[in-house]
Amino acid sequence: MRDAESDVVAMQAGVTEVLARFRQWLRSVGELRLQERSRASLRLVDEYVSLLVENGFRRAVADMKALPRGEPWLQLRKGLMEAVLREESYRKEHRLRSVLSPTGDNEEYIQRLGMLKKFCMNVLFLSSRRRQKRQGWEEVLFALAAGIAMAFATAVALWAQIRFTQVSLNFFLIAVVGYMMKDRIKEGLRRVLSRVAATHLSDRTADLVDPVTGRTIGTCEERVDYAPKVPDSVASLRHQDDFLTVSQGELTETVIRYQKHIILDARLLPRTERGLSGVTDILRFNVERFLRDMDEPELALEYVDLADLSVGHIRGAKRYPVDVVLRFTVEEEETDRRQESTQLVRLVLDRNGIQRMLRFADTAAGAPPGPMPWQSAA
């Protein structure tokens, strides 16, 4: 018992000292001129360290529920819970939103904890870098297959010609190698042209027809691909908090780009008494495939009541954010006018579907992420 008591006291003292030294270093770094990305990264690391300490102490109190409720265990539990409350107060003071709520669903707490773990712990995991070794061997095998096919065709041709004229072995080998090179050049050009076609040609094209007159008033072209790079104007919209500021480029994200190009002849559009009418385009976004690999929508979180140090469970909601950026560009050929608007909409999903939708302001700079943890929040 004495050994366990001394281990708990030593653990709490050691963690407290490490926290103090870490935050002292943060204060010294805060005096330097850092880029906003670096400042946001330090805020996230500080938040994750605070959560690690809090969860560790909270779990220790929960594991001590089978021990006697008298001394010295009562004071040890109270000391650990005081440390938990200090960390909660620290995050509240610095406007960090990862605080447990006994009555809420704690969706944001779980989401931030998962994102913080991915961001802060990714340096401890091995990263995979793909190499095109298989593609090189495939090219060799394809060339050999083309050579074998050409050898068969040439052998048949030689057998037919040998009765009428003489053909040398050198001609045979040159013909085979030439066909091998011809086949690979053909396949290489096919891949290159396929990428060019995917960039400049649409996946689906439709004509817009006036049902009354039967005349074609415009065309609609659609294209879907995986965007290799997000434009800066779109990326700036997601600078709403520290997560989105530092995660772009640091954490793996899948970006699906859907493009729709509509060309309208304004002279052929139906007109009303109020003037020229437009065209309403309805886009249906199916999120069903996103829901297949999601975790259970609700889980239980351990919670220690400070009043009697009893261990219970509170509700936690596991949800996933999906950012949808809508960018509309309108060009008028006659006046050479170009107008562009961009809007960010966040879908919050769980296994049951869309739970809510959040709209963000159309701004290039985004909302400021808040003060540094070692600075005043005023």
Residues 283-311: tens digit of each pLDDT: 888 888 888 888 888 888 877 776 666 77
Angle at 132 between CA 129 and CA 136, to 5 degrees: 160
Please compute the mean of the pLDDT values over residues 231-244 and round it to a whole number. Answer: 72
**Which among 375, 378, 324 has a CA at the least distance from the CA of 348?**
324
374 pLDDT higher than 50: no
CB 107 within 8 A of CB 99: no
Q: Which two tokens stand for residue 343?
A: 């809007």
CA 106/CA 104 separation, integer angstroms: 6
Q: What is the predicted pLDDT for the residue at 365? A: 40
Mean of the pLDDT values across residues 118-139?
Answer: 60
**pTM score of the predicted model:** 0.58
d(CA 59, CA 151): 72
What is the reported pLDDT for 370? 44
Write down the pLDDT at residue 243.
Answer: 66
* 3 vs 9: CA distance, rounded Å: 10
d(CA 333, CA 265): 10
Identify each DSSP E strand in the chain by its residue range. Answer: 204-209, 216-226, 256-264, 271-272, 275-276, 298-304, 311-317, 320-332, 337-350, 353-360
Give the mean model confidence (pLDDT) for residues 139-168. Answer: 69
**Residue 352 Ramachandran class (φ > 0 left, ψ -120 to 50 alpha, else beta):** alpha
Backbone dihedral angles phi then psi of residue 33, each to the nearest 5 degrees? -90, 105
Residue 264: Cβ within 10 Å count = 14
Q: Is the confidence at residue 98, as pLDDT, over 70? A: yes
Q: DSSP for 301-339?
A: EEEE-TTT--EEEEEEE--EEEEEEEEEEEEETTTTEEE
Q: What pLDDT does residue 368 have? A: 41
In tens, the pLDDT along 255-290 reads: 888 888 888 887 777 665 555 556 777 788 888 888
pLDDT beyond 80 at 214: no
pLDDT at 186: 76
